Chain A
Amino acid sequence: QSVLTQPPSVSGAPGQRVTISCTGTSSNIGAGYDVHWYQQLPGTAPKLLIFANTNRPSGVPDRFSGSRSGTSASLAITGLQAEDEADYYCQSNDSSLSGVFGGGTKVTVL
């Protein structure tokens, strides 16, 4: 049981926009801790996609965007591409000063 709640799966056709929610509590996201997002392709290590809620590391396409509000955060993928098919995880910290992850969301490109 992950601390942060994500939908198990989302899907969309190529070119469409999909969003992934990440719901926390007043002990983590709601306490103001930043949210980060990772993309994990099958059989590989996670890759940082968004850090500190809205920021993209160098090399990450601007099709990926993040937001945070209250006790939740979201990752949006616009112009969905076949190569975006992967698992996505949100991460934050909580009041115990440890990190917490979401349960992951599998994105399927139809």
Chain B
Amino acid sequence: QITLKESGPTLVKPTQTLTLTCTFSGFSLRTTGVGVGWIRQPPGKALEWLALIYWNDDKRYSPSLKSRVTITKDASKNQVVLTMTNMDPVDTATYFCAHGGDAFDIWGQGTMVTVSS
């Protein structure tokens, strides 16, 4: 059974760096073809694709956020970390991590991050 869970701060100040951790079980990021992605959803708005990392450390980023976002993995800990710099109130959203590459078949429950001074 695959599960994922996001963790990190619920409140960050403008200009700060956000670090979120996705801890997963039921699969390995050492297995060929496996990927983990990050997606966010501002309150009442649509999903936004952020970043994706594959088993072989291939990384993909949203062009609009590429300068601010970094995705890394620690396969030994079953974790994927997303960092986003220079946070702004418009980055207030629920952040999801999900298993998959092209399509995301299993999602975490999401974690709400508010950006406010």
Contact = CB atoms under 8 A, between A and B. Distances in A.
Contacts of A7: none
Contacts of A93: 102
By secondary structure, the A interface counts as strand
A92 to B, nearest CB: 9
Contacts of B103: 34, 36, 48, 51-52, 91
B102 A45 contact: no
Which of the four size classes fits the interface of chain A? 20 to 34
Contacts, number: 61
A64 interface: no
A98 B49 contact: yes
Contacts of A99: 37, 49, 52, 60, 62
Contact of B63 (A45, A51, A52, A96): A96
A45 B96 contact: yes
Interface in B50-99: 52, 60-63, 96
A102 to B, nearest CB: 7
A103 to B, nearest CB: 5
Interface of B: 37, 39, 46-49, 52, 60-63, 96, 100, 102-110
- 7 tightest A-B contacts by CB? A99-B49, A36-B103, A45-B107, A51-B103, A101-B47, A104-B46, A103-B46
12 contacts: A34-B102, A45-B107, A46-B39, A48-B105, A52-B103, A89-B47, A91-B47, A91-B103, A97-B60, A101-B48, A101-B49, A102-B46
